[in-house]
């Protein structure tokens, strides 16, 4: 199973690194953003425009017939007859998975609460390739909100699956990234993942991934100022990535040094989303995503077609479960 996953994620990342794609996608995509977003929402809409894929924003659920008593499942089933694919950012963890079970059309997860942000993770992997790095000879250092930031989960799993080693250091002292550690163990990747206590544990990494503290998911917690990264903390690092927006995790001086690279990365994420949308719309990756969702398999919990599947509660908050085999397939 793992060789299949590695091949699949390598294929996706390589395809996304390929030259920019132009036009050629006929159809309509339903785009829904339940949470604020600048980069993901606008880059997705721009990517659709450049592909010739018509985007319709599903602006407010209260304006759907849900307000007249229709349930969400029925609404999405109906919308699946109207749209050719969906892209959504949801507040609830696992909601893109649910949507993908309600409609037969592909669903691109653009961030589900603190769950996942796979297209951002693919763009991070593409950045590593663009910088000539080899995943099998690379250590990724992760600094920031390693528990609540959805890009961390997706990025760490992507790099692990591609063969990298990963060091995790939390900005929030003592916090354990249980979900990541469990996922890595389930997939047999835990040998290459370490959770360390100090910022200095990141010295010597090749790629540094930084996120801000997710204040919107953490009532009344402010990071102590000594946790802010400065120029000397990234000495020798070959690539620094940050999904933005920025918080107090980097100094002004470091930010000024990183800004050009991070803005270039925003352009890269648009290109990656364009390629992903094209692949989905043309059905290139249906075997990988079971023809339903870019990120999740479609069967209900307990009804996995993989006999060796073991159910694991990745998404306890949404009460949905993902079996290890199917979860694997999403990467």
Enumerate binding residues for ligand CP (CB under 6 A).
37-41, 111, 120, 243-244
Strands in the chain per DSSP E: 28-33, 54-57, 85-90, 107-112, 139-144, 165-170, 193-196, 207-210, 239-241, 311-315, 320-323
Nearer to ligand CP, 40 or 103 (CB): 40
Nearer to ligand CP, 148 or 329 (CB): 148
Which ranges in 31-94 belong to alpha helices (H)? 39-51, 72-82
Output the smallest distance, CB 120 to ligand CP, in A.
6
Backbone angles phi, psi at 49, to 5 degrees: -60, -45
Strand order in 85-90's β-sheet? 54-57, 28-33, 85-90, 107-112
Nearer to ligand CP, 181 or 266 (CB): 266
Output the smallest distance, CB 312 to ligand CP, in A.
26
Nearer to ligand CP, 92 or 244 (CB): 244
- Six-digit token string for 94: 């696992």
Instruction: Report DSSP letters for 120-139, one per residue.
Output: HHHHHHHHHHHTT--GGG-E
Burial class of residue 5 (count of CB atoms within 10 Å of its CB; 0-12, 13-18, 19+): buried
Output the smallest distance, CB 94 to ligand CP, in A.
18
Question: b vs e for 55-80, b when ≥16 Cβ sit within 10 Å of the residue's Cβ?
Answer: beebeeeeebeeeeeeeeeebbeebb
For residue 10, what are the contacts with CB-CB under 8 A and spacing of at least 6?
162
Nearer to ligand CP, 267 or 282 (CB): 267
Instruction: Tell me the sheet residues that pair with 29.
Output: 55, 85
* CB-CB contact of 44 with 278 (8 Å): no
Output the smallest distance, CB 59 to ligand CP, in A.
17
Output the smallest distance, CB 307 to ligand CP, in A.
37
Output the smallest distance, CB 298 to ligand CP, in A.
25
* CB-CB contact of 231 with 257 (8 Å): yes
Nearer to ligand CP, 121 or 168 (CB): 121
Distance separating alpha carbons of residues 68 and 13, to the nearest angstrom: 43
Output the smallest distance, CB 37 to ligand CP, in A.
3
Containing 15, the helix (H) or strand (E) segment is helix 2-17
Nearer to ligand CP, 17 or 109 (CB): 109
Output the smallest distance, CB 39 to ligand CP, in A.
4
Nearer to ligand CP, 47 or 326 (CB): 47
Nearer to ligand CP, 37 or 139 (CB): 37
Q: Which of 199, 231, 227, 226 is CA-nearest to residue 213?
A: 227
Closest CB to ligand CP: residue number: 40
Angle at the Cα of 73 from the Cα atoms of 68 and 77, rounded to 5 degrees:
100
Distance separating alpha carbons of residues 29 and 313, to the nearest angstrom: 30
Output the smallest distance, CB 43 to ligand CP, in A.
8
């Amino acid at each position: 199973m793992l060789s299949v996953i590695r091949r699949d994620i390598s294929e996706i990342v390589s395809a996304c690194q390929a030259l920019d794609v132009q036009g050629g996608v006929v159809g309509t995509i339903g785009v829904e953003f339940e949470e604020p977003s600048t980069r993901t929402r606008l880059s997705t809409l721009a990517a659709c425009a450049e592909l010739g894929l018509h985007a319709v924003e599903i602006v407010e659920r209260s304006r759907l017939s849900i307000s007249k008593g229709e349930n969400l499942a029925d609404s999405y089933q109906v919308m699946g007859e109207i749209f050719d694919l969906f892209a959504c950012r949801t507040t609830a963890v696992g909601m893109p998975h649910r949507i993908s079970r309600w409609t037969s059309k592909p669903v691109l997860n653009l961030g589900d609460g603190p769950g996942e942000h796979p297209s951002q993770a693919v763009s991070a992997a593409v950045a590593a390739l663009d910088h000539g790095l080899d995943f099998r000879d690379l250590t990724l250092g992760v600094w920031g909100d390693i528990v609540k930031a959805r890009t961390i989960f997706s990025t760490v799993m992507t790099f692990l699956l591609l063969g990298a080693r990963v060091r995790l250091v939390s900005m929030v002292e003592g916090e354990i990234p249980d979900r990541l550690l469990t996922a890595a163990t389930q997939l047999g990747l835990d040998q290459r993942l370490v959770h360390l206590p100090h910022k200095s544990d990141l010295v010597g990494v090749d790629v540094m991934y930084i996120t801000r503290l997710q204040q919107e998911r953490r009532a009344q917690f402010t990071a102590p100022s000594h946790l802010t990264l400065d120029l000397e903390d990234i000495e020798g690092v070959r690539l620094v990535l940050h999904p933005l927006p920025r918080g107090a995790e980097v100094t002004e001086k470091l930010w000024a040094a990183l800004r050009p690279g991070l803005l270039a990365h925003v352009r890269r994420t648009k290109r990656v989303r364009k390629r992903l949308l094209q692949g989905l719309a043309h059905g290139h990756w249906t075997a990988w995503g079971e023809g339903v969702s870019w990120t999740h398999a479609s069967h209900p919990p307990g009804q996995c077609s993989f006999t060796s599947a073991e159910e694991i509660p990745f998404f306890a908050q949404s009460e949905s479960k993902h079996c290890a085999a199917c979860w694997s397939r999403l990467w």
